[in-house]
Structure 1
Amino acid sequence: MSSRDTPAVFGSPALDSAFCGVSAGIVSTICMQPLDLLKVQLQVSTAPKTHGTLGQIWWGLGEIVRQGGYAGLYRGLTPNLVGNASSWGFYFLWYTMIKARMDGGEEKKLNAGQHLLASASSGVITAVITNPIWVVKTRMFTTRADETKAYRGVLNGLATLAREEGVRGMSKGMTLALIGVSNGAIQFMTYEELKKRRVDLRRKRLGAGASEEEVKRLSNTEYILMSGSAKLVAIGITYPYQVIRSRIQYRPVSAASSTPPYTSIPDVITRTYRSEGLSGFYKGIATNA
Structure 2
Amino acid sequence: MTTKSYTSSPHLDQALAGFGAGLVSTVILHPLDVIKIRFQVDERKKSEQRPLIGGTVRSFKKIVRNEGVWRGLYRGVTPNIAGATASWSLYFWWYSLIKKHMTKNEEGKLSPFQHLTASAEAGAITAVFTNPLWVIKTRMCTTTRYTPNAYTGLLNGLRRLATEEGIAGLYRGMVPALFGVSHGAIQFMAYEEMKKWRKDIREKEGLAGLDAERLSTAEYLVMAATSKVTATVATYPYQVLRSRFQSQTTQDKYKGVMDCVRQIYRAEGYVGFYKGLSPNIIRVLPGTCITFVVYERVSQYLRENATEHSV
Scaled by the length of structure 2, what TM-score is found? 0.83
- Structure 1 residue aligned with 2:220: 223
How far apart are 1:42 and its partner, in Å? 0.2
Deviation beyond 6 Å, 4+ runs, structure 1? none
How far apart are 1:203 and its partner, in Å? 3.3
1:38 aligns with 2:35: yes
- Structure 2 residue aligned with 1:211: 208
**SS of 2:145's equivalent?**
coil
Cα deviations by residue, 1:203-253 (Å, 9 ceiling, x for unpaired): 34x1xx44344333321111110011000110011100000110011137x
- Structure 2 residue aligned with 1:16: 13
Q: Counterpart amino acid of 2:152?
A: R
1:265 aligns with 2:257: yes
C-alpha distance in structure 1 between counterparts of 2:101 and 2:208, whole Å: 26
- Structure 1 residue aligned with 2:309: none
- Structure 2 residue aligned with 1:163: 163
**SS of 1:186's equivalent?**
helix
Q: How does 1:1-289 map to 2 (within 5 A)?
A: 7-47=4-44, 48-53=48-53, 55-71=54-70, 72-103=72-103, 108-204=108-204, 206=205, 209-251=206-248, 261-288=253-280, 289=283
Residues 277 and 265 of structure 1: CA distance in aligned 2, closer, same or farther (over 3 Å): same
How far apart are 1:77 and its partner, in Å? 0.5
**SS of 1:66's equivalent?**
helix
C-alpha distance in structure 2 between counterparts of 1:184 and 1:228, whole Å: 13
Is the Cα–Cα contact under 8 Å of residues 248 and 263 in structure 1 kept in the other structure? no
**SS of 2:254's equivalent?**
coil
5+ residue gaps, structure 2, are 284-311
5+ residue gaps, structure 1, are 253-257
C-alpha distance in structure 1 between counterparts of 2:247 and 2:184, whole Å: 23
How far apart are 1:259 and its partner, in Å? 7.8
Cα deviations by residue, 1:110-131 (Å, 9 ceiling, x for unpaired): 1111111111111111100111
Q: Counterpart amino acid of 1:158?
A: L
Q: Counterpart amino acid of 1:217?
A: R
Q: RMSD of the TM alignment (CA)?
A: 2.0
How far apart are 1:6 and its partner, in Å? 8.3
Q: Counterpart amino acid of 2:58?
A: W
C-alpha distance in structure 2 between counterparts of 1:200 and 1:174, whole Å: 39
Determine what percentage of the aligned residue pairs are the same residue.
48
| Aligned pairs, number | 275
Is the Cα–Cα contact under 8 Å of residues 250 and 260 in structure 1 kept in the other structure? no
60-69 or 85-94: bigger deviation: 60-69
